[in-house]
Amino acid sequence: MEVIKYLPESYLPGVVLDKANGVFEMTGRACPEDPIEFYQPIFDWLDEYSEAPLELMVFNFNMTYYNTASSKALMTMMQRLEEISESGNKVLVRWHYQADDDDMMEAGNDYNEMINVDFEMVPYK
């Protein structure tokens, strides 16, 4: 399976989807000008991954900001993770947020309430 690796840029998040090494993460700011163009390869990758997932998938989200279009894309990603979990594979979402960032903490709590996967809130300083 091909690895997706995007380095973070000013308005684009860093993304690593690497099944062979068990690394699944999204970091930084997410405000792509064309969200469909940016997120579609990620959705396609998750769809392919779901055909032969690892026994355990730990997906780390460490977002500092995202716009409305990205919030919808994150929800779509979370739903795909939920489908992988419902097929009998263990999925853990780790939502990392700066301890004093109430907005990101609340966003993580909202996603946690909307999807049915193991979810861990991870504050940092």
The dihedral of CA 44, 48, 51, 55: what is its sign? negative
CATH number, domain containing residue 19? 3.30.750.24
Model confidence pLDDT, tens digit, residues 47-60: 999 999 999 999 99
- Check if the beta carbon of residue 95 is closer than 8 Å to that of residue 120: yes
pLDDT tens track for 43-94: 999 999 999 999 999 999 999 999 999 999 999 999 999 999 999 999 999 9
> 50-66 in b/e burial notation, b at 16+ Cβ within 10 A?
eeebeeebbbbbbbeeb
Beta-bridge partner residues of 27? 14, 62
Instruction: Tell me if 49 sits within 8 A of 19, measured CB to CB.
Output: yes
**Which domain range does residue 105 map to?**
4-124
| pTM value surpassing 0.85 | yes
Query: Could you give the number of structural domains in the chain?
Result: 1
Residues 123, 121: Cα–Cα separation, whole Å = 6
